[in-house]
């Protein structure tokens, strides 16, 4: 088999060299006979050199014992693995384009108590877009977040409870909160908390398809925050009302943001129908789970009144608290 390959390569080289000679000398078919002996001799020397080089390459790359058997499944499998490993970015890009959210409204399905809920998209699929809704289920860790639409007197007791327990939190703010409660924003930073982007006007971001419009909602918050604090806003984005689609996630990622959903929330935003303390504590303790990204609203009077107690109960259940920087990669 080795000799056959060599003879085949010799034939190719002879044909190629002859063709090259015709081109180099500018000879037509009828002028080949006028090629000098010196030219032919030079051609022969070059041919012999190329021939030796090709034979050397054959000897170095394939020995009789190393010839590839394409009928061997192991070799075919190894070849496939090599191709796959050399194109990881292409594979990831294809997977990202195929992401389909079950709904443009972020939602959760809860199973047994203490277990992670199932979201509209899997944690693995979201991660391809630098998006997250839950952490690892192997450790009893909580990532506490608050959505801040406006100030009605409940943010300060929330900050007090967090400070008492030395719990880090992330506050997702909108333009109105920044403009009307700058002192609270400054305190969030001073107390060591993270401030994220909840858009300037709190629109339905799933309805925005133009990158410029999408970016303006985020840039205006970032600029206002920097003006108040003199520091840069954390690159965490939470879609208002959890409304989003794959295109939104791609735009947020392109702008450098990680999109943060949640794995635990309850109906605490209606200021006219606040849940009782008992009702809120029951829901927040029964549904807490390892790796939970908890969403609470700063406008909830109930949250301001029970946060100290609920933090104590979570601690008694063995949970610790980490900032989003420990979740986002």
Structure confidence by residue, pLDDT tens digits, 126-135: 999 999 999 9
Mean pLDDT, the chain, integer: 78
What confidence tier does 100 reach under pLDDT thresholds 50, 70, 90?
low
- Give the Cα separation of 204 and 42 in Å (integer): 77
Close Cβ partners of 9 (under 8 Å, ≥ 6 residues apart) = 51, 54, 55, 58
Cβ–Cβ < 8 Å for 173, 195: yes
Model confidence at 169, pLDDT cuts 50, 70, 90, reads very high
Query: Can you read off the two tokens belonging to residue 276?
Result: 């009782």
What is the predicted pLDDT for the residue at 12? 41
What average pLDDT does the segment 95-110 reach?
Answer: 73
Of 151, 149, 142, 150, which is closest to residue 169 (Cα–Cα)? 142
315 contact partners, CB below 8 Å, separation of at least 6? 165
Nearest to 136 by CA among 286, 265, 326: 326
| Residue 75 in this model has a pLDDT that exceeds 60 | no
Is-above-0.75 flag for pTM? no
Q: What is the pLDDT of residue 105?
A: 87
**Given the residues 125, 147, 202, 289, the one annotated as active site:** 147
Tell me the torsion sign for CA atoms 156, 159, 161, 164. negative
Question: Using CA atoms, how far apart are residues 197 and 104, in angstroms rounded to an integer?
Answer: 19
Please tell me the predicted confidence (pLDDT) of residue 104.
82
The answer on pLDDT for 102 being more than 90 is: no
Contact 180, 155 (CB under 8 A): no
Q: Span 60-89, mean pLDDT? A: 30
Q: What is the mean pLDDT of residues 170-186?
A: 98
In the predicted structure, residue 223 carries a pLDDT above the cut 70: yes
Calpha distance 263→267 (Å, rounded)? 14
Tell me the sheet residues that pair with 236. Answer: 258
Asked whether residue 63 carries a pLDDT value surpassing 60, the answer given is no
DSSP 92-147: HHHHHHT---S-SB--EE--STTSPPEESS-HHHHHTTTEESB--SSS-EEEEEEE
Band of residue 329 on the pLDDT scale cut at 50, 70, 90? confident
pLDDT of residue 60: 34
Instruction: Let me know: does 135 contact 293? Beta carbons within 8 Å.
Output: yes
Strand locations in the chain, DSSP E? 108-109, 118-119, 131-132, 141-148, 169-173, 194-197, 236-237, 258-260, 292-297, 320-321
Q: What is the pLDDT of residue 1?
A: 46
Is 297 a known active-site residue? yes
Report whether pLDDT(22) > 50.
no
Which listed residue (130, 193, 198, 297) is catalytic? 297
Q: How far apart are CA 158 and CA 314, in angstroms?
A: 16
Contacts of 295 (CB under 8 A, 6+ apart): 145, 146, 147, 262, 264, 265
Q: What is the pLDDT of residues 229-280, one digit of tens each?
A: 999 999 999 999 999 999 999 999 999 999 999 999 999 999 999 999 999 9
Between strands 108-109 and 118-119, the pairing is: antiparallel
Instruction: Using DSSP bridges, classify how beta strands 292-297 and 258-260 pair: parallel, antiparallel or unpaired.
Output: unpaired
Within 13 Å and on the Cβ side, how many CA atoms surround 4? 2
């Amino acid at each position: 088999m080795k000799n056959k390959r060599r003879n085949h390569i010799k034939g190719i080289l002879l044909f190629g060299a002859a063709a090259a000679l015709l081109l180099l000398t500018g000879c037509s078919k009828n002028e080949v006979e006028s090629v000098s002996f010196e030219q032919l001799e030079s051609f022969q020397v070059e041919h012999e050199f190329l021939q030796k080089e090709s034979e050397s390459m054959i000897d170095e790359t394939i020995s009789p014992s190393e010839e590839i058997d394409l009928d061997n499944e192991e070799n075919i499998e190894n070849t496939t693995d090599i191709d796959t490993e050399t194109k990881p970015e292409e594979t990831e890009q294809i997977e990202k384009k195929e992401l389909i959210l079950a709904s443009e409204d972020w939602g959760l399905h809860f199973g047994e108590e203490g277990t992670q809920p199932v979201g509209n998209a899997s944690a693995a699929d979201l991660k391809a877009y630098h998006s997250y809704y839950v952490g690892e289920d192997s450790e009893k860790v909580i990532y506490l977040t608050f959505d801040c639409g406006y100030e009605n007197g409940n943010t300060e007791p929330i900050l007090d409870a967090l400070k008492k327990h030395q719990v880090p939190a992330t506050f997702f703010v909108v333009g109105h909160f920044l403009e009307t409660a700058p002192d609270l924003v400054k305190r969030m930073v001073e107390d060591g908390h993270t401030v994220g982007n909840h858009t300037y006007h709190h629109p339905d971001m799933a309805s925005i398809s133009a990158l410029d419009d999408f970016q303006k909602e985020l840039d205006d918050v970032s600029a206002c925050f920097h003006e108040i604090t003199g520091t840069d806003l954390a690159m965490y984005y939470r879609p208002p009302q959890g409304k989003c689609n794959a295109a939104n996630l791609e735009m947020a990622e392109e702008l450098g943001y990680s999109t943060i959903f949640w794995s635990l929330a309850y109906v605490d935003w209606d200021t006219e129908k606040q849940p009782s303390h008992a009702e809120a504590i029951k829901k927040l303790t029964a549904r807490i789970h390892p790796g939970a990204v908890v969403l609470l609203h700063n406008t909830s009077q109930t949250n301001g009144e029970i946060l100290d107690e609920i933090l104590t109960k979570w601690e008694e259940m063995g949970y610790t608290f980490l900032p989003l920087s420990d979740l986002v990669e």
